[in-house]
Amino acid sequence: MNIVNKNLWRIVLCTLSMSVFAQKTQDSIPRETILQMLKYDGITAFGGLKHAYTRPFHWQKDDFLTAGAVIVGTAVLYSFDAESSRFFIRQEKNAPRILKDFGRYFGAPQNNYMLSAGIYGVGLFTRNEKWRHTGVLLIASATAAGFIQSVSKTVVGRARPGTLEGRSTFKPFNKEGAFHSFPSGHSVLSFTTAHAIARQFDNWWVKGGIYTVGLISPISRLSSGAHWLTDVTLGVLLSVVIVDSIDNYMKANNKYNLEKKRKISWKMNLGPGRIGLVGTF
């Protein structure tokens, strides 16, 4: 019994010593400054941006099949553009004013970036890795998707429904906003924000609520006659692809230590002439 008691005390003292040493070691590690974190986040955002733009060069067979399915689906939707536009425009007068205003403001670039910067700022100044990750994801995704949609609008030059020019009118490189319909910028930014935030939750009820909010802008753009159904649909799909690509890049490289640490299960191992503490992980 005396031998057992002595061994137990040795284990307790050893454990306490290790805890004190670990705490002193942790306290001795200097915390990153705000500038260091800003630099790290900027490099991470740029890396995500580059990753998103270069993914098509690494596509496999399944990726090309998915792209083909999107093209075919878009062609099918294109045949319904005129009818769907008339349908949504008829619903505009019955839509609540608060939803129309929210849809217009939420998808606007300046408001979208203010929200993204706010989320990132909370993560930066509170040193919360989850919020920092989400903020960087939002900013990188909005930048990547926003640049693509801005260039596409000018290059494609599709007429908006409100011009009454028809779904098949295209004037590439036209400077007038009336010919910047494809894709929908509001849809791109609003759903990029919704999808980036929704990916951080596991609860599908929460995800559903976030996606519902993210779809307000796309639907409001249809009812206002600002975009065709294909403009909005491709904008939403672009958002999903960009966000998924950048988020996967960040998580694969564990940029913000979000991998769940495996818990260690401790149990006492007693036997004839031996005593020990075994950790299983």
Q: Is the pTM of this model over 0.85?
A: no
Contact (Cβ atoms closer than 8 angstroms) between residue 135 and residue 121 = yes
Question: How far is residue 206 from each of residues 194, 197, 203, 245, measured CA to CA in Å?
Answer: 11, 10, 5, 22
**pLDDT at 172 exceeding the cut of 80:** yes
User: Do 214 and 194 meet the contact criterion of CB atoms below 8 Å apart?
Assistant: yes
Structural tokens at position 144 = 């990547």
Helix (H) or strand (E) holding 232: helix 229-252
Q: Is the pLDDT of residue 92 over 90?
A: no
Pairing of strands 265-271, 274-280: antiparallel
pLDDT one-digit tens code per residue, 111-167: 888 999 999 999 999 989 999 999 999 999 999 999 999 999 999 999 999 888 888
Dihedral pair phi/psi, residue 240, rounded to 5°: -60, -45
pLDDT digits (tens, 9 = 90+) for 234-263: 999 999 999 999 999 998 888 887 765 444
pLDDT surpasses 70 at 195: yes
Using a 10 angstrom Cβ sphere, with 0-12 exposed, 13-18 middle and 19 or more buried, the burial of residue 211 is middle
pLDDT surpasses 60 at 274: no
In what helix (H) or strand (E) does residue 251 lie, and over which residues does it extend? helix 229-252
- What are the CA-CA distances from residue 276 to residues 12, 16, 36, 226, 269 (Å)? 11, 16, 44, 72, 5
Question: Between 63 and 220, where is the model more confident?
Answer: 220
